[in-house]
Structure 1
Amino acid sequence: MAVLTIESFPGRAALPPPDAVTWPRGMAVASTDPATLFEICRPEVNLAIWHRQLPQRLGAALRPLLMAAPFTAVAEGEIDAALVTLAGKLPATPPLELMFDLQDLATAFAAIAATQGVVSIRLEAITGRGCHRWHADAVGLRLLCTYRGLGTEWLARPGGAGTARALAPDRSAPIASAQMPAGSAAILKGEGHPGNAGAGCIHRAPPAGTGARARLLLCIDEPGRIPLDD
């Protein structure tokens, strides 16, 4: 599989000042530069988004997986081994382009989260509402990428999980939010990251809508964070 060359990413000190939206104890940074993901290492950043365009051919190649929705496949271990396990749990053969991209993102995440090359990977095709309530994850760092469908919504609000619990669970009261574009890769800082209690990134799944097609979502976590299925 193709491997992301971590050495090609500049050091944090060499990064240009990113575009940012700020709030107390939190900052969201976004750029078309993949090195933007490393900005999550800064104490004041709790969301880093790498805006990118997926190859058009990947969309057609994902159809067999999407036709098998809903499903959830989870694997944990060293990246190559975890991907082999993950592919074996999927209801259809995944396209090579997808597997290459999963490896690239997992390699970058493992370097950023300092997991010694071990990750938990979840790939799921969601046909319902998913995690539709506003929440902040009880993890350290988490990478999300929506390959098909609407991207994750997030709020530029302080307060982490406490603030999220106070928000209306439904969508009757509009809340100003932003949305990650499909294809973009984002690393979110959760409540479990050292020193980040009360400042986790608030987010939720987008509305499914009537007759909505399956949403294909990738989640990469530090090892031990995602319960594995049998």
Structure 2
Amino acid sequence: MSVPALSQPNAGDTTAWHAEHWAIGNDIEVLPRIFEDHTNIAIMRRELDAPLLASVAAQCHVDRAWQWSWLGSPDAEMQADLLRRLPAPAEARPLVDDIQTLAEAMAYLFEADMIGIRLRLLDSAMCPRFHCDNLPVRLVTTYHGPGSEWLPEAALNRAGLGIPSADKPEIVADAAGIQHLQVGDLGLLKGSGWVGNEPRGLVHRSPALDSGQKRLLMTIDPA
């Protein structure tokens, strides 16, 4: 992956950040825009090809939810462990290859020797309340089912974040402004643990799932 030269925005220009704090594109070169001071989400739109969709479907045709996690280098040992743990290993190669590519890209982009990965088949919303993560950055992608939801600043009341209480306002200031990641999209979410981004971590939540609906979610954190 070739990382383009990044612009140097004015860190004090909060007006620009409130007006447009996201970067969305169809090419991988949109992802390094997460380094821009005013950007707290970078999204690469992508469609999964037929072999990958078939591989994903095979892992979802199970009776129970499952998960796999890894903390280490994105290497052959990681691939072997994932193949051992997936419920349908015979059909797993396209999914494993995609995860390997994304893990290597995250390690390269953030100059990380280790990455943390979680791959989970969910049958209920994991984090249904809007929140921001207390970590620097996370890659989120949904292989099956509805994608993560996030709020632009114009649709958000940050005073409502945190532990719910009767005197707190609603987090969502404009329900029509709720944004959705689609299947296959790569979302880089900047959290409140990113130095200089403490008061403005990306606010997001897990989507609601209908009865019987499943979601295959992967997150990657540079470690």
Rg comparison, structure with higher value: 2
Equivalent residue in structure 2 for 1:149, among 145, 148, 166: 145
The code of the aligned residue for 1:87 comes to L
Counterpart of 1:71 in structure 2 is 66
1:24-63 aligned at under 5 Å gives the runs: 24=18, 27-63=21-57
Within 1, Cα distance between the matches of 2:97 and 2:133?
A: 27
Counterpart of 1:227 in structure 2 is none
**How many residue pairs align between the two structures?**
205
Instruction: Determine if contact 1:142/1:189 at 8 Å carries over to the other structure.
Output: yes
Displacement after TM superposition at 1:98 (Å)? 1.1
Q: 1:25 to 1:127 in 2, by over 3 A?
A: same
Within 2, Cα distance between the matches of 1:163 and 1:112?
A: 33
The code of the aligned residue for 2:5 comes to G
Counterpart of 2:92 in structure 1 is 95
Equivalent residue in structure 2 for 1:105, among 102, 105, 108: 102
The code of the aligned residue for 1:217 comes to L
Q: 1:101 to 1:42 in 2, by over 3 A?
A: same
Within 1, Cα distance between the matches of 2:189 and 2:141?
A: 11
Deviations 1:60-90 (A, max 9, x none): 2223310234111101101013333333333
Counterpart of 1:201 in structure 2 is 202
Displacement after TM superposition at 1:96 (Å)? 1.4
Aligned-CA RMSD value: 2.5
Within 1, Cα distance between the matches of 2:6 and 2:73?
A: 26
Displacement after TM superposition at 1:164 (Å)? 3.0
Q: 1:113 to 1:161 in 2, by over 3 A?
A: farther
Instruction: Determine if contact 2:41/2:202 at 8 Å carries over to the other structure.
Output: yes
Within 2, Cα distance between the matches of 1:32 and 1:127?
A: 29
Instruction: Determine if contact 1:26/1:199 at 8 Å carries over to the other structure.
Output: no
Segments of 5+ residues of structure 2 without an aligned counterpart are: 8-15, 163-167
Q: Which moved more, 1:83-92 or 1:60-69?
A: 83-92
Counterpart of 2:212 in structure 1 is 211
Instruction: Determine if contact 1:160/1:202 at 8 Å carries over to the other structure.
Output: no
TM-score by length of 1: 0.80
TM-score by length of 2: 0.82
SS in 2 for 1:39: helix
Deviations 1:179-215 (A, max 9, x none): 0111011111011111111111000011102332x10
Instruction: Determine if contact 1:47/1:189 at 8 Å carries over to the other structure.
Output: yes
Q: 1:176 to 1:26 in 2, by over 3 A?
A: closer
Displacement after TM superposition at 1:25 (Å)? 9.0
Within 2, Cα distance between the matches of 1:9 and 1:87?
A: 30
1:9-24 aligned at under 5 Å gives the runs: 9-13=3-7, 23-24=17-18
Instruction: Determine if contact 2:138/2:221 at 8 Å carries over to the other structure.
Output: yes
Within 2, Cα distance between the matches of 1:141 and 1:152?
A: 15
The code of the aligned residue for 2:177 comes to A
Q: 1:168 to 1:56 in 2, by over 3 A?
A: farther
Counterpart of 2:122 in structure 1 is 126
Segments of 5+ residues of structure 1 without an aligned counterpart are: 1-5, 14-21, 224-230
Within 2, Cα distance between the matches of 1:50 and 1:42?
A: 16
Q: 1:26 to 1:87 in 2, by over 3 A?
A: farther
Q: 1:77 to 1:26 in 2, by over 3 A?
A: farther
Percent identity reads 29
